[in-house]
Structure 1
Amino acid sequence: MGGEVKFQLGQNPYIKLVLHALKHRVSSVNGILIGRLDDASSTVDIVDAVPLSHSQIGLLPTLEIALIQVEELFSADGLSVVGYFHANERYDDSELGKIAKKIGDHISRYFPQPAVLLLDNKKLEALCKSIHREPVVQLYTKDASKGWRQAGIDASVQLTLKEPSANTVLSDFIATEKYEEIVDFDDYLDDISKDWLNPRLFK
């Protein structure tokens, strides 16, 4: 992808990744972003998020198993892994850490310029007090010479929410404690009857 790159984040994956973090407030969480690239517009459309872990953060064998399964599950629909999301354990930690960068590097084997979304706890807290349209995640992309950088530093990379009302819906989900229903890959490994794709979350 050359020139300006756009990442468009759909409402469902956006809500899902935030709810995953809210369910496990005292630990780091992560997951995989699913989507497709529109070459004509240089836009990466993120259409789903698959919650991965809340206890096995950074274990590449577990990540690799999940990535292989995700690729198999979504490839028939023309979708693939396009990125990664992460929420830090500490509320005041707004930095993309070594583990998140390492996993982002690993995912770049699947998609050459993946999106890495880091939850911004302060923006999330502000949303709980007053609805705004700004996403409560920060986009990071990898520069060949400078490594992982915030999108705000590089004007050629943009992140937008596909649905303008996404934060309103997210706020409603938080108020009704919908995050209690989220299942991640860790939960699935403990109990294979649990569906880590969360097909009924938005029913």
Structure 2
Amino acid sequence: MSELEISTQAYMKMCLHAARYPHGAVNGVLLARRPQGGRAECLCITDCVPLFHNHLSLSLALEVALNQIDLWSLKHDLILAGYYQANSNLDDKNASNIALRIAGRLSEYFSDAILITLDNRRLSPDPPLPPVIILQHKEKRWVPKDKNLIMWQNWEETRRITRTLLECKAYRQLVDFDAHLDDIRCDWTNQRINREIGKLASVANGSA
């Protein structure tokens, strides 16, 4: 059973996606560094790609999105390593049938794939603990990941960056695949937000 590390960038973009569309469900794909030699002792989730905020299960759009993300990931030595979803109901933190189906499909290609459900009730600019539920695929079922095996990339720094970006409404800049399909000029890799997160992380670490 491998360890799991989630980066500031991946966590931030999940939160920004949920904040961008607070009254609806959102979902996305988690990306990780490609393990050397097959399996890795630690799965490092480095980024995520926001998918949809309208029709989460629209098959044709999902196929287009996953194909493009897979091709882009190959160029950057990344893999599709999981799925995240925030439900529309504030108190609903269960993995929906849609989430189970899409995450199950990803696990067919990467056995260590994870499934994250955001806890809407605990989402805030400065949560004391990560407001997420993390599941892993084991014996044909999705079960909670052992919390002792989950690491967060400098959680206190992540909290500060989250607070800063939410307070300045950076979520307005976030582009998901729905928005990209409406206007292909919109960058679904969200490099602008990635640079902003990197800049804030550098300042927090005392770098210029």
TM-score under structure 1 normalisation? 0.87
Aligned to 2:179: 187
Aligned to 1:104: 103
Alignment of 1:6-17 (within 5 A): 6-17=3-14
By how many angstroms is 1:122 displaced? 2.5
Q: Which runs of 5+ in 2 are unaligned?
A: 197-208
Greater share of helix residues, 1 or 2?
A: 2
Is 1:137 aligned with 2:132?
yes
- Matches of 1:61 and 1:84, distance apart in 2: 18
- Does the residue aligned with 2:192 lie in a helix, a strand or coil? coil
Is 1:160 aligned with 2:151?
yes
Deviation above 4 Å: which 4+ runs of structure 1? 38-41
Residue type matched to 2:131 in 1?
V
Of 28, 32, 35 in structure 2, the residue corresponding to residue 31 of structure 1 is 28
Percent identity over paired residues? 29
By how many angstroms is 1:140 displaced? 0.9
Is 1:78 aligned with 2:77?
yes
How many corresponding residue pairs? 192
Aligned to 2:206: none
CA 1:143–1:64 in 2, change beyond 3 Å: closer, same or farther?
Answer: same
Aligned to 2:204: none
- Matches of 2:135 and 2:158, distance apart in 1: 20
Q: Which runs of 5+ in 1 are unaligned?
A: none
- Does the residue aligned with 1:109 lie in a helix, a strand or coil? helix
More off after superposition, 181-190 vs 58-67 = 58-67
Q: Do 1:7 and 1:115's aligned partners in 2 also have CA atoms closer than 8 Å?
A: no
Aligned to 1:175: 167
Q: Do 1:8 and 1:46's aligned partners in 2 also have CA atoms closer than 8 Å?
A: yes
- Matches of 1:148 and 1:121, distance apart in 2: 20
CA 1:65–1:123 in 2, change beyond 3 Å: closer, same or farther?
Answer: same
- Matches of 1:112 and 1:60, distance apart in 2: 22
Aligned to 2:15: 18
By how many angstroms is 1:135 displaced? 1.5
CA 1:158–1:58 in 2, change beyond 3 Å: closer, same or farther?
Answer: farther
